[in-house]
Amino acid sequence: MQRDGTFDVVTASLARTRDRRIADEQAALRRVAILIARGAVPEAVFAAVAAEAGRLLAARTSAAARAWPG
């Protein structure tokens, strides 16, 4: 820690950023889980997962592909 308290401010800022990211991830998981619990069709779940992942990654676009066995 520096005498001017810079380390404490930076550490606190990083902790808040980390906490915000974790809260955003948990909220995204909760929204997808609610869709699943309500019996949403797989297409809607995949679309929601793609949208939530895109939002979390700050992507301009996002998509999810589903591969069928065989």
Convert the pLDDT of each residue in 18-44 to its tens digit. 999 999 999 999 999 999 999 999 999
> What DSSP character marks residue 47?
H
pLDDT at 1 over 60: no
The answer to whether residues 38 and 47 touch, using CB atoms and an 8 Å cutoff, is: no
Domain of residue 32: give its range.
Answer: 6-56
3-state helix, strand, coil in the chain (%, to 5): 65, 0, 35
- Domain contains 27: yes
- Domain contains 35: yes
Query: What is the C-alpha separation between 1 and 50, in angstroms, rounded?
Result: 41
Q: pLDDT confidence of 2, banded at 50, 70, 90?
A: low
pTM > 0.95: no
- Domain contains 64: no
For the chain, the domain total comes to: 1
- Domain contains 69: no
- Domain contains 65: no
- Domain contains 68: no
Query: What is the C-alpha separation between 9 and 6, in angstroms, rounded?
Result: 5
- Domain contains 61: no
- Domain contains 63: no
